[in-house]
């Protein structure tokens, strides 16, 4: 069941979503932003990495887990 944190303005769940692994953007001296992929895997809450494409995977709501497969199921 979706929570208020993972619904868009129309009330539709925004999760699950496929995309890059958790990362942060840091300012660069050129004015652009650089991506840092140094967030430890242990801190990847709400994300399951794609075994066929490392660095990408499926994001789930970090609050309620909307869309996350049952325990033991393959994503």
pLDDT at 14 over 80: yes
Determine contact, residues 63/2, Cβ cutoff 8 Å: no
- Residue 5 β-bridge partners: none
Rg (CA), the chain: 14
pLDDT at 18: 94
Taking CA atoms, 11 is separated from 3, 8, 31, 70, 73, in Å, by 10, 5, 36, 23, 27
pLDDT digits (tens, 9 = 90+) for 23-73: 888 888 888 888 777 788 888 888 999 999 988 999 998 888 887 887 555
């Amino acid at each position: 069941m979706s929570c208020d944190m993972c619904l868009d303005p129309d009330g539709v769940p925004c999760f699950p979503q496929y995309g890059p692994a958790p990362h942060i953007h840091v300012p660069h001296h050129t004015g652009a932003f650089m991506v840092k992929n140094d967030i430890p895997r242990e801190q990847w809450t709400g994300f399951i990495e794609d075994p066929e494409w490392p660095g990408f995977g499926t994001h789930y709501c970090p609050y309620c887990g909307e869309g996350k497969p049952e325990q033991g199921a393959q994503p």
